[in-house]
Amino acid sequence: MSVAKPLPHDSAPLHVTGQARYIDDIPTPAGTLHLAFGLSTVARGTIIGVDLSAVRAATGVVAVLTAADLPFANDVSPSNHDEPLLATGTVHYIGQPIFCVVATSHLSARKAARLGKIDYAEETPILTIEAALAANSRFEDGPRIWSKGDVDAALTRAPHRLQGRIEMGGQEHFYLEGQAALALPQEGGDMIVHSSTQHPTEIQHKVAEALGLPMNAVRCEVRRMGGGFGGKESQGNALAVACAVAARLTGKPCKMRYDRDDDMIITGKRHDFRIDYDVGYDDRGRVQGIEFTQYTRCGWAMDLSLPVADRAMLHADNAYLLPHARITSHRLKTNTQSATAYRGFGGPQGVLGVERVMDHVAHALGLDPVQVRQVNYYRAAEGGLSAPHRPAASPPEDISGTKAGQDGQDMTSRGAAGGGQRISSGTGGARRFGAEHSPQAEDYGPNTTPYGMEVTDFALHAMTDRLLASCDYAARRAAIAEWNAANPILKRGIGFSPVKFGISFTLTHLNQAGALVHVYQDGSIHLNHGGTEMGQGLFQKVAQVAASRFGVDVSAVKITATDTGKVPNTSATAASSGSDLNGMAVQAACDTIRDRMAACLADLAQTTPDKVRFAEGRVHVGAEVLSFAEAAARVYVNRVSLSATGFYKTPDLSWDRIRGQGRPFYYFAHGAAVTEVVIDTLTGENRILRTDILHDAGASLNPALDIGQVEGGYVQGAGWLTTEELVWDDKGRLRTHAPSTYKIPAVSDRPPVFNVALWDQANPAATVYRSKAVGEPPFMLGISALLALSDAVAACGPAYPALDAPATPERILTAVQKVRG
């Protein structure tokens, strides 16, 4: 069975030969035109004069569009209809598109776009958290506040109490392939759009609105992206819509790609956050009560900021049972790029807030920060998580939500393949646990999150123990202390961080997926689903599911481009949900076809469908053995459909985001990391020396691809907190708009010793083959790098470092001087 095999990425043979096509590599028809935006040069103001005569006169220019030239909707927002494609009278950030040049080449469009003369009545831009609070410039009517228990009383009662603040910067996605789109006009006004997008349905939707067409007149296709990381969830809308409108107006194919500077200036980034905390705790560092106030700069338009800020609140607890907690979230509207989705979607910011608290409390008490974390952990699930693939206890309710029997059956009984992993018969039944197993049980109330969700699958106790042992944490911590005592200039530090990440879109209706599977009469299989491939290996993992259902080799499955004409109404490939949702939808489609085949073949052989077995490329019908191709041909001749759709919706979700109560997640994914660093106390220069990670991918669909996600996620997370610094000047200009000034991790920044292992235990929740989502959770393991740097700084003096992020050499040097007093 191909599931669980460490197969390489399906596109690897194309990647290594240069044949893999990205948007800008697709051969275009003769006469294809190229687009570029003319951008606002002020952060806030009213446009009082527009002179585009020089633009129109420039070499190669075919047309110049302003808002007045747009035939229908002028909106590229994914949420609030507050984001015009082209500015309408007012501008809200430096980089906002005002006009669009259509020219015969990419370069001539870009050159001409610089020739626009725009006069503005400038206003004072709102750039900072302070300015936004002073002006009450925010999304929603006020802050969101969620609470659990009696926080004020708990803070007052606690033996110890401290307050603090952490500032954490945003992050540029820096997908290697910049944003790009290509629109091809069709007969009758229809439009085909190729877009580098994580959300083809939204591209289809926004293009249809912009063209005044129903969605059925627009088809969006995406075979792959050169990286996404959340940056292509909504930020590709502008290019796709501009290309489609220009294609409609000129009748020519139109293509647009941002060059790197434009990409960084125009598009949104990770939300930067400030988090204030006030915590009461006991002598062991056990939190009694805690209050977080989160502030985030959302930029000029709403985009996805509300769910991002919600997810920051939803992860303010991370791995810790907080008996009394209040979380307040301010979503501030500023004259900067509209901050958007980025791997973790607010989760990393929320997690970093509480990890800072744990670090601060441990420092104040003089305790090992790992111990303080363990004391605060949620209680473990009863039994189940230490026993791999253990069937769940009696299910409290049917949460399958899928067609009867699909989840609950031994998969081999329907002939998928022999010898594979059994899916447990429970449907999430391990989500009950016994409080009596934990010594903290009575003291800290039910094992619930601040938003009222019971944590029933907590795996971090055992994972932490294993990781600390495998990386020799205790001995290394002692050795580092000794080394630091002997070395006055260089200081080492070690940091541990866990992650518990909630899996599901918090907008519940997005937790659905569709698939379309065909079996051809030669036995070859055509696979399509709503997920998009951005490098994460989704297509291969889903193909492995399909191959396993038919008992064939994965090479029999043709993976095809995501296409809104094949699978409609898709959700973005986001929230780590790709394999969970699309894997299940494909499984359902394959099972429908397989059941039809079994019924037909059984009928012909005068036996029953349960006597038909699909394994190792063959179909066993009673005593007869057919190749899969022979079986497909026989079924075809007997006039049985070999094509099916599949559908999946995640069960057991309910969520009230205003009250902050419910069960927004189907399950949690876990991970833990230990990072060791060294800093130079004279310069702030620093290096990661070693990283050890243990990550929970459930029963992995593909361990090789999953480890790739863990390694890449960690390095990207460490980059966020160390070298990647976004700087805006006092006019609101982003001064770090290219890799010359914005530093993502290079290979030389990767830890020289990097040990990554998977915690290979089945997901108690009934996910596809009991795997777990793996795209975002490991990103947060990069927090261990910041904590290690903080630990190294703490070796320089008695005060708490309170290191902000990113911990650039400048910040580290400042912190060293501060702790020395």
Partner 1 sequence: MKTKDISVIVNGEEVRASVPVRRNLVDFLRTDAGLTGSHVGCEHGVCGACTVEVNGATVRGCLMLAVQADGATVTTVEGFAASGRSAALAAAFTRRNALQCGFCTPGMLASALGYIDRGGTADRAAIREHISGNYCRCTGYQSIVEAICDVIEERTAP
- Nearest approach, Cβ of 744 to partner 1 (angstroms)? 6
Task: Report in angstroms how near the CB of residue 342 gets to partner 1 at its nearest.
Answer: 12
- Asked whether position 436 contacts partner 1 by CB under 8 A, the answer is no
The CA-based angle 151-499-397, given to 5 degrees, is 80
- With contacts defined by CB under 8 A, name the span among 118-126, 531-539, 578-586, 630-638 that binds partner 1: 531-539
Q: Give me the residues paired with residue 615 across strands.
A: 618
Specify the residue, 6 or 383, whose C-beta has the smaller distance to partner 1. 6
CB neighbourhood size of 617 (10 A): 16
Pick the binder of partner 1 from 53, 59, 627, 638 (CB under 8 A).
59
The answer for 95, left when phi > 0, alpha when psi is -120 to 50, beta otherwise, is left
> In the complex, what is the shortest distance from the CB of residue 569 to partner 1, in angstroms, rounded to a whole number?
26
Q: Using only the alpha carbons of the chain, give its radius of gyration.
A: 27
Is the CB of 705 or the CB of 762 nearer to partner 1? 705
Is 9 one of the binding residues for partner 1 (CB under 8 A)?
A: yes
In the list 2, 3, 24, 494, the residue contacting partner 1 (rule: CB under 8 A) is: 24
Tokens standing for residue 241: 């819509």
Rounded Cα distance between 247 and 186, Å, is: 10
Buried (b) or exposed (e) across 36-62, using 16+ Cβ within 10 A? bbbbbbbbbbebeebebeebeebebbb
Q: Does 8 bind partner 1 (CB under 8 A)?
A: yes
- Whole-number Å distance between alpha carbons of 732 and 736: 12
**How near is the Cβ of 719 to partner 1 at its closest, in Å?**
9
How far apart are the C-alpha atoms of 519 and 541, rounded to whole Å? Answer: 19
Among 386, 470, 746, 810, binds partner 1 (CB under 8 A): 746
Q: How far is the CB of 281 from partner 1 (least distance, A)?
A: 35
Residue 298 corresponds to which amino acid? C
Residue 682 binding partner 1, by CB under 8 A:
no
Q: Is 344 in the site for partner 1 (CB under 8 A)?
A: no
Which residue lies nearer to partner 1 by CB, 25 or 482? Answer: 25
Member of 469, 625, 637, 738 binding partner 1 (CB under 8 A): 738
Q: Does residue number 720 form part of the binding site for partner 1 (CB under 8 A)?
A: no
Pairing between β-strand 490-503 and β-strand 218-222 as defined by DSSP bridges: unpaired
Neighbouring residues of 12: CB distance < 8 A, sequence distance ≥ 6: none
Among the listed ranges 2-10, 80-88, 636-644, 769-777, the one in contact with partner 1 (CB under 8 A) is 2-10
* Lookup: tokens for 71: 């035939």
Beta strands 618-621 and 273-281 are: unpaired
Q: How many helices (H) and strands (E) does the chain have?
A: 19, 29
- By beta-carbon proximity to partner 1, the closer residue of 514 and 708 is 708
Q: What does each C-alpha distance from 808 to 129, 165, 215, 360, 685 come to in angstroms?
A: 21, 18, 47, 20, 8
Near partner 1 in 535-564, by CB under 8 A: 535-537
Closer CB to partner 1, residue 32 or residue 41? 32
Select from 579-587, 622-630, 673-681, 714-722 the region that touches partner 1 (CB under 8 A).
714-722
Distance in angstroms (rounded) separating the CA atoms of residues 347 and 364: 26
Question: Smallest distance, Å, CB 193 to partner 1?
Answer: 19
Query: Residue 748, interface with partner 1 (CB under 8 A)?
Result: yes
31 binds partner 1 (CB under 8 A): no
Strand 180-185 and strand 254-257: the pairing is antiparallel
Marked catalytic residue, from 172, 202, 221, 776: 776
Q: Where are the alpha helices (DSSP H) in 487-612?
A: 538-550, 578-604
Provide the minimum distance between the beta carbon of 270 and partner 1 in the complex, in angstroms, as a whole number: 14
For partner 1 (CB under 8 A), the number of binding residues is 58
Distance of CA 422 to the CA centre of its chain: 29
- Closer residue to partner 1 (CB): 434 or 752: 752
CA 800, distance to chain mean position in Å, is 32
Other C-beta atoms closer than 10 Å to the C-beta of 4 total 18
- Of 744, 760, 817, 818, the one binding partner 1 (CB under 8 A) is 744
CB of 173 to partner 1, least distance (A): 8
Going 579 to 584 to 589 to 591, the CA torsion angle's sign is positive
Residues with Cβ within 8 Å of residue 426, at least 6 apart in sequence:
391, 392, 393, 394, 395, 408, 764, 766
Contact 339, 268 (CB under 8 A): yes
- Binders of partner 1 among residues 253 to 312 (CB under 8 A) are 259-260
Q: Does residue 11 touch partner 1 according to CB under 8 A?
A: yes
**Contacting residue, 30, 486, 489, 747, with partner 1 by CB under 8 A:** 747
End-to-end CA distance of the chain: 62
Whether the Cβ atoms of residue 743 and residue 718 lie closer than 8 Å to each other: no
Residue 693 or 794 with smaller CB distance to partner 1? 693
Helix (H) or strand (E) holding 121: strand 117-122
Select the residue interacting with partner 1 from 253, 708, 775, 806 (CB under 8 A): 708
Closest CA to 200 of 237, 250, 149: 237
The residues near 130 (Cβ < 8 Å, ≥ 6 apart) are none
Residue number with CB closer to partner 1 (599 or 744): 744
When binding is defined by CB under 8 A, the residue of 369, 498, 578, 712 that contacts partner 1 is 712
Strand partners for 415: none
Task: Tell me the window of 17-25, 37-45, 565-573, 606-614 that interacts with partner 1 (CB under 8 A).
Answer: 17-25
Find the shortest distance in angstroms from Cβ 126 to partner 1: 31
Q: How far is the CB of 532 from partner 1 (least distance, A)?
A: 11
Stretch that binds partner 1, among 168-176, 248-256, 388-396, 651-659 (CB under 8 A): 168-176
For residues 307 and 282, the answer to whether their CB atoms sit within 8 Å is no
Site map 185..224 versus partner 1, x via CB under 8 A: ---------------------------------------x
Residues 6 or more apart whose Cβ sits within 8 Å of residue 73: 206, 209, 210, 212
- Considering only CA atoms, which of 793, 791, 806, 816 is closest in space to residue 367? 791
Q: Which residues within the stretch 364-403 sit at the binding site for partner 1 (CB under 8 A)?
A: none
Name the residue with tokens 């190792």: 616
The yes-or-no answer on residue 776 being catalytic is yes
Which of 303, 711, 724, 804 is in the footprint of partner 1 by CB under 8 A?
Answer: 711
Closer residue to partner 1 in complex, CB, 14/50:
14
With CB under 8 A as the contact rule, the residue among 714, 728, 779, 800 that binds partner 1 is 714
Which residues contact residue 582 at a Cβ distance below 8 angstroms, ignoring those fewer than 6 apart? 513, 515, 529, 530, 531, 538, 542, 648
Q: Which is nearer to partner 1, 177 or 382 (CB)?
A: 177
Determine the interface stretch with partner 1 among 175-183, 365-373, 465-473, 767-775 (rule: CB under 8 A).
175-183
Q: Which two tokens stand for residue 691?
A: 């990283």
Q: Is residue 486 near partner 1 by the rule CB under 8 A? A: no
Q: Whole-number minimum distance, CB 515 to partner 1, in Å?
A: 23
Map tokens 């494909």 to a residue: 586
If one asks whether residue 17 binds partner 1 (CB under 8 A), the answer comes out as: yes
Report yes or no: 515 and 646 within 8 Å, Cβ to Cβ.
Answer: yes
Tell the residue number behind the tokens 């805690």, with chain if given. Answer: 290
Assess 685 for contact with partner 1 (CB under 8 A). no
Among positions 120, 175, 273, 720, the unique one binding partner 1 when judged by CB under 8 A = 175
Q: By CB under 8 A, is residue 704 in contact with partner 1?
A: yes
Q: Which residues are catalytic?
A: 776
Which chain residues interact with partner 1 by CB under 8 A? Answer: 6, 8-9, 11-22, 24-25, 59, 173-178, 224-229, 259-260, 534-537, 704-705, 707-708, 711-716, 738-740, 744-748, 750, 752, 754, 756
